[in-house]
């Protein structure tokens, strides 16, 4: 793994146990501790995909080995210090993607955690992987602009972040684009005020732009 340099061993979060929320993973067997993966496979079988939380590089290597041996479809979620990357020394070809998920901490509060994710789930909609020859590609002029709709819910954000997002929609959108698609930042032209809607957390719990 790559060195986290003072932020916990190899980029791992400092001794904090985090759990996934069941409602965020419908149709998936949630495995909150690496040690229970084997028994959960015996209990649930292999019909459903699994999602496993690992907290350190030893658990990561063990879980990836079990997944490979058991042939299950699974997602591995490894909480990390923000900005740090994860790579398994035992499985160097396995590539991890950085993301941010709502997770529950040891006192029962929902936080937005930085995580490194890997999965072996089948790709959806990939029918033909061959590259389309240039002479067969669609032609035409690119549109001058595109509209992107962004939705967020308060249950996925700490209160301070949520209040800042509501009060500064343009900054929130710019920050999101810079995180998920930094190369698209020069294409950002304009944004609109949030449209507040009622969600599971109450009135004004969903914002749309």
CA distance 198 to 48: 32
**Domain spans of the chain, in order of start:** 9-119, 146-208
Q: Is 121 helix (H, G, I), strand (E, B) or coil?
A: coil
Overall pTM > 0.75? no
Kindly give the confidence (pLDDT) of every residue in the chain, 209 residues in length, as a single tens digit, with 9 standing for 90 and above. 333 333 445 555 555 789 998 888 888 899 999 999 999 999 999 999 999 999 998 999 999 999 989 989 999 999 988 777 777 777 878 888 888 888 899 889 988 888 888 888 875 444 444 556 666 666 666 666 677 788 887 777 777 778 888 888 877 887 777 777 776 766 777 777 788 777 666 666 666 66
Q: What is the CA radius of gyration of the chain?
A: 20
CA distance 132 to 130: 6
Burial (CB < 10 A; 0-12, 13-18, 19+), residue 118, is buried
């Amino acid at each position: 793994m790559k060195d986290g340099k003072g932020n916990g061993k190899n980029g791992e979060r400092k001794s904090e146990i985090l759990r996934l929320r069941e409602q965020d993973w419908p149709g998936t067997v949630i495995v909150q501790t690496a040690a229970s993966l084997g028994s959960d496979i015996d209990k649930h079988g292999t019909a459903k995909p699994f999602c496993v939380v690992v907290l350190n590089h030893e658990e990561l290597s063990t879980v990836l080995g079990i997944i490979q041996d058991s042939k299950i479809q699974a997602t591995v979620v490894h909480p990390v210090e923000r900005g740090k990357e994860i790579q398994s020394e035992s499985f160097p070809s396995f590539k991890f993607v950085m993301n941010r998920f709502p997770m529950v901490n040891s006192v029962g509060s929902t936080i937005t955690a930085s995580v490194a994710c890997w999965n072996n789930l089948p790709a959806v909609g990939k029918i033909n992987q061959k590259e389309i020859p240039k002479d067969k590609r669609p032609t035409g002029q690119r549109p001058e602009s595109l509209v992107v709709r962004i939705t967020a819910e308060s249950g996925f954000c700490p209160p301070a972040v949520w209040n800042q997002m509501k009060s500064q929609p343009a900054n929130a959108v710019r920050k999101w684009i810079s995180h998920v698609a930094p190369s698209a930042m020069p294409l950002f032209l304009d944004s609109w005020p949030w449209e507040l809607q009622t969600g599971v957390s109450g009135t004004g719990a969903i914002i749309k732009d």
